[in-house]
Amino acid sequence: MKALLVGEYREGKLLESTYELVSFANAVGAEFEFFLVGSQDQLPQVEAKVHLADVTTAGEYNPALHKQLVLAAAEKAGADTIVFIHSSYGWDLAPRVAMALDAAQISEVIEADAEGYLRPACNAKLRRKVKSVTGKSVITLQAGAFNPVEPNGTPQAEALESAGDGNCEFLGYEQAEAGGVDLGKAEIVVSAGRGVGKPENVEMIQALANALGGEYGASRPVVDAGWAPHDRQVGTTGQVVAPKLYVACGISGAIQHLAGMKKSEFILAINTDKDAPIGEVADVLVVADVKQFAPALTEKLG
Ligand SMILES: Cc1cc2nc3c(=O)[nH]c(=O)nc-3n(C[C@H](O)[C@H](O)[C@H](O)COP(=O)(O)OP(=O)(O)OC[C@H]3O[C@@H](n4cnc5c(N)ncnc54)[C@H](O)[C@@H]3O)c2cc1C
């Protein structure tokens, strides 16, 4: 397999997720080259060719133009597999590239080997394993599913000429209205998952967070159900946290949740299921009913 890895650059910086693409290429044993709309001073530090389009002319966001650039780089690289991160950039651009190449697109891949790709289905309750049967394929990777490799190579940049103007012009970013809590700053985060059972029980998690001197967070179903506000959500579509202590209460450990907290220094999980996937990242898994364990711990701390 020859892969073209589509790196990401935002607000003048190469994103760390770019190194997750290398981890994917290693998992499937692919040779790879990079594509980047970015700048010479922000190249991925990898031992590979980087097809570099200048961000000052191509803009950070211009999908029609970037599609042309990706296609040009893929041809130069002789790539049969084009790989994106499943981010706002990747999920917009990947289908355009797949259409142009008449290629299969396999999205939100969480594991891969030479046999095929694993992706979540049915709200992550199932996993599907699939492989492409077209000559070329387009893959998007679930953010956080592949551990980023250490940046320690020397890239060889090759300039890509701009392929026109595209059909929109990137004007800049606008900061979302600040508000709510910045969980990223908390040293201790105690999060409520669906296992807490009902909205009133989120207060029990808040009480434990208070007793520990931390903030409370939540998994997405808890937020979607309206039991906690969105600024408390941890995960790929919420906040990414790396506190000294993360307490996961009734949280199964879906990949999208793990992506938001797996870099925490110490992870304590409370779950009735001893085989819950959260156990794979937890330093300590307490097999217990959170409705009994959390208040008991709060009381001890008080
Ligand atoms: C595109 C996309 C983005 C997503 N983004 C996010 C995100 O940002 N954050 C996020 O969290 N999810 C996200 N998800 C959803 C994610 O896939 C999972 O569905 C979600 O994380 C599951 O939440 P949960 O662990 O609270 O619930 P469940 O998966 O239902 O797990 C509940 C857990 O509680 C345990 N339990 C049950 N009762 C008790 C009890 N009494 N005591 C102790 N344990 C108990 C169960 O054993 C189980 O492990 C996203 C999904 C998609 C498709």
What DSSP string describes 171-215? ----PPPP-S--GGG-SEEEEE-GGG-SGGGHHHHHHHHHHHT-E
**221 alpha carbon to ligand 1 midpoint, in Å?**
6
Residue among 116, 142, 89, 148 nearest 254 (CA)? 142
CA distance 12 to 120: 32
pLDDT in tens, 97-150: 999 999 999 999 999 988 899 998 876 667 899 999 999 999 999 887 898 999
The preferred substitution site among 201, 220, 236 for testing ligand 1, maximizing ligand atoms within 8 Å of CB, is 220
Residue among 227, 196, 210 nearest 292 (CA)? 196
SS3 106: strand
Closest residue by CA, ligand 1 atom 50: 256
Q: What angle do CA 17, 19, 20 make, to 5 degrees?
A: 65
Ligand 1: atom nearest CA of 86 is 1
Tokens representing residue 184 in the block: 């990223």
CA distance 70 to 266: 40
**61 alpha carbon to ligand 1 midpoint, in Å?**
32
Question: Using an 8 Å Cβ cutoff, are 142 and 24 in contact?
Answer: no
Ligand 1: atom nearest CA of 277 is 49
Q: Which residue has the tokens 């992870």?
A: 267
CA distance 156 to 74: 16
**123 alpha carbon to ligand 1 midpoint, in Å?**
9
Ligand 1: atom nearest CA of 252 is 49
Question: Which protein residues are within 6 Å of ligand 1, measured from CB?
Answer: 123-124, 193-195, 219-222, 233-238, 250-252, 254, 256-257, 260, 270-273, 276, 289-291
pLDDT of residue 127: 85
Q: Which residues pair with 85 in a beta bridge?
A: 141
Question: Using an 8 Å Cβ cutoff, are 266 and 245 in contact?
Answer: yes
Q: What angle do CA 19, 1, 14 make, to 5 degrees?
A: 20
Which residues, given as ranges, of the chain have pLDDT below 70?
123-125, 163, 176-179
Residue among 144, 148, 130 nearest 26 (CA)? 148
pLDDT of residue 176: 67
Closest residue by CA, ligand 1 atom 43: 271
